[in-house]
């Protein structure tokens, strides 16, 4: 049975406009997986997904990766309902197992200010992986505050707030198949 894409249950004043279709996302992920596998040769890969936004990206990426692959998850505090990062990052769920000596691929939904990624890289590097690389589905380079880059980037996008395919606004919209721009009564950001 063909899956029907979920429709957005928008609240008053909120509108969503498709930026990246599910087809484009799936094609790009397949190409990223191919590149990642080539870079790591036949070595085992340990994927660390950042909850919750990266779950959808990770689930599709891992199924395009051949060879030996294992998974773990980590969670950090994020925006809550706001669209601006507080800059304060806190670990709310640690890894289940040691990553020492492993080829770790940190999988994140979006690189925005980079503050979350900077924090995560510090935490993970302390655990002495053999290699550490970063894969993000989306990158908003215009917003960067911390000097971090990803090794694998799905799409570079403009400075707009996006939802869908795992990305949320106050925990809503993760179920959309496309990545869409969320706007609030014609404005790009809600009045806070």
**Is there binding between residue 78 and Mg ion (CB under 5 A)?**
yes
* Cβ proximity to Mg ion, 60 vs 168, nearer residue: 168
Binding site for ligand IMP (CB under 6 A): 53, 78-79, 85, 108-117, 161-163, 167
Shortest Cβ 65–ligand IMP spacing (Å)? 21
Shortest Cβ 50–ligand IMP spacing (Å)? 6
Which one of 19-27, 29-37, 53-61, 134-142 is the stretch in contact with Mg ion (CB under 5 A)?
53-61
What is the chain written as a DSSP string? -PPPPPPP-PPTTEEEEEEE-HHHHHHHHHHHHHHHHHHHTT--EEEEEEETTTHHHHHHHHHH--S-EEEEEEEE---TT-SS--S---EEE--SS--TTSEEEEEEEEESSSHHHHHHHHHHHTT--SEEEEEEEEE-GGG--S----SEEEEE--S--EEBTTB-BTTBSTT-SSEEEEEETTBSS---
Q: Which does 116 bind (CB under 5 to 8 A by kind): Mg ion, ligand IMP, none?
A: ligand IMP
Catalytic residues: 112
* Cβ proximity to ligand IMP, 104 vs 157, nearer residue: 157
Task: Summarize as ranges the residues that interact with Mg ion (CB under 5 A).
Answer: 53, 78
């Amino acid at each position: 049975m063909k899956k029907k894409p979920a429709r957005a249950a928008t609240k008053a004043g909120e509108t969503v406009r498709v930026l990246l279709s599910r087809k484009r996302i799936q094609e790009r992920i397949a190409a990223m997986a191919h590149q990642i596998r080539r870079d790591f040769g036949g070595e085992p890969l340990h994927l660390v997904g950042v909850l919750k936004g990266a779950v959808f990206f990770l689930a599709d990426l891992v199924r395009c990766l051949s060879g030996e692959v294992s998974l773990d998850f980590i969670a950090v505090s994020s925006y809550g309902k706001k669209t601006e990062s507080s800059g304060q990052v806190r670990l709310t769920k640690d890894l289940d197992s040691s990553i020492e000596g492993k080829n770790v691929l940190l999988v994140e939904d979006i690189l925005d200010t980079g503050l979350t990624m900077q924090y995560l890289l510090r935490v993970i590097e302390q655990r002495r992986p053999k290699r550490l690389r970063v894969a993000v589905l989306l990158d908003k380079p215009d917003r960067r505050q911390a000097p971090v880059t990803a090794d694998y980037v799905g799409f570079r996008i403009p400075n707009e707030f996006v939802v869908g395919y795992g990305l949320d606004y106050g925990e809503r919209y993760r179920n959309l198949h496309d990545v869409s721009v969320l706007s609030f009564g014609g404005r790009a950001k809600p009045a806070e």
